[in-house]
Homo-oligomer: A and B are copies of this chain.
Amino acid sequence: MHENPQLNEHGELTHLLSTEGLSREIITRILDTAATFVGITDREVKKVPLLRGKSVFNLFFENSTRTRTTFEIAAKRLSADVLNLDITRSSTAKGETLLDTIDNLCAMHADMFVVRHAESGAPYLIAEHLRRMGLHDIHVVNAGDGRHAHPTQGLLDMYTIRHFKQAFEHLTVAIVGDILHSRVARSDIHALKTLGVPEIRAIGPQTLLPRELARLGVKVCHDMAAGIRDCDVIIMLRLQNERMNGTLLPSAGEYFRVYGLTQEKLARARPDAIVMHPGPMNRGVEIASEVADGPQAVILDQVTFGIAVRMAVMSLLAGREQTSGVRDS
């Protein structure tokens, strides 16, 4: 495996695989580029021609209509051609290897792969293969691999925090819930550390907090009330239904009583604390509706910024940044 497989030989971002290993400069550049796209979506014509003629392939080996849609919108607003491959019915299903499928799509002159896969590392495997084949103009965006990483979600979370809190240097951020299985939490933690957040807390039952948290410089907290105290940012995680089988967790009701974010628990955070959630929400499981719909929730802002962040990532990877203002298509 290459030293830092996300960067090309000039140290520029050529794939987005993880927030781990991204420098502060690169993250900041992505967020700054995203800021130029936030305005576009308010215009009458929401398109820019930065990726016109480029072919973006959505390769979702694990189904996720929501995430696929955000990438499809982002790519279309950049004027790319988007091709959604129904992987479960494709050649891969007919016994072709993953890399043969990739080779074929490269031969069709694909420009970008947006990859979601249940196996951690699948997007790395593809990026490494492209490097080995000398295909330096084809880019990979990890849209979630196993429990490993979901970097665009991590970046849109950073965008949201910066938007509401301006700077990272004095923040206390709590991440609450099933951190063990969460690629979102892992991507958030790496980015928060890199951007200089001094205190990151992980809150949840012992069975759902991974051991490596201490090594990552994250404070572990099993008590919700204590963990949330004086926080500036609270990131609630989705509780996967399949975890609720009794071995890792008691019932959903019991979980909500202890770790669900209610207005009462939220009162312990700073008065201007923001509440985030990657969606889709389980109301009444990890978050109360009064909080989800309350004034401190920025959950829908995350979605809006997410489109701009994905547009930023795609245009930076393609080497098609906006220069002076936004040209209309």
Question: Taking beta carbons and an 8 Å cutoff, which residues of A are in contact with B?
Answer: 41-47, 52-55, 63, 65-66, 69-70, 72-73, 76-77, 81, 83, 85-87, 89-91, 94-97, 100-101, 103-109, 241, 279-283, 300-301, 303-304, 306-307
Contacts and interface: CB of A to CB of B under 8 A. Distances in A.
Contacts of A301: 107
A105 B300 CA distance: 9
Among A76, A109, A303, chain B packs the most CB atoms within 10 A around the CB of: A109
17 contacts: A45-B52, A46-B54, A63-B89, A65-B87, A65-B90, A69-B85, A73-B108, A77-B81, A94-B280, A95-B280, A97-B283, A104-B279, A106-B300, A107-B303, A107-B304, A108-B303, A109-B304
Nearest to A42: B109
Contact of A280 (B66, B70, B91, B279): B91
B83 A73 contact: yes
Contacts of A104: 66, 279-280, 300, 303
B83 A69 contact: yes
Among A54, A91, A107, A304, chain B packs the most CB atoms within 10 A around the CB of: A107
Contacts of A91: 65-66, 279-280
Among A63, A89, A279, chain B packs the most CB atoms within 10 A around the CB of: A279
A53 B104 CA distance: 29
Number of copies of chain A assembled together: 3
B41 A47 contact: no
Nearest to A88: B65
Top 9 A-B residue pairs of the complex, sorted by shortest distance between their CB atoms: A45-B53, A107-B303, A65-B90, A96-B280, A91-B280, A107-B300, A46-B53, A41-B109, A76-B81
A42 B76 CA distance: 21
A94 B281 CA distance: 9
Given A63-B89, A241-B95, A46 B109 contact: yes
Contact of A89 (B45, B47, B55, B65): B65
Nearest to A307: B108
B44 A281 contact: no
Contacts of A44: 53
Nearest to A72: B83
Nearest to A293: B103
Contacts of A103: 300
Given A73-B81, A300-B107, A43 B53 contact: yes
A95 B303 contact: no
Contacts of A77: 53, 81
Given A55-B73, A76-B83, A95-B241, 9 more contacts: A41-B109, A65-B86, A70-B108, A72-B83, A91-B280, A100-B283, A108-B306, A109-B304, A109-B307
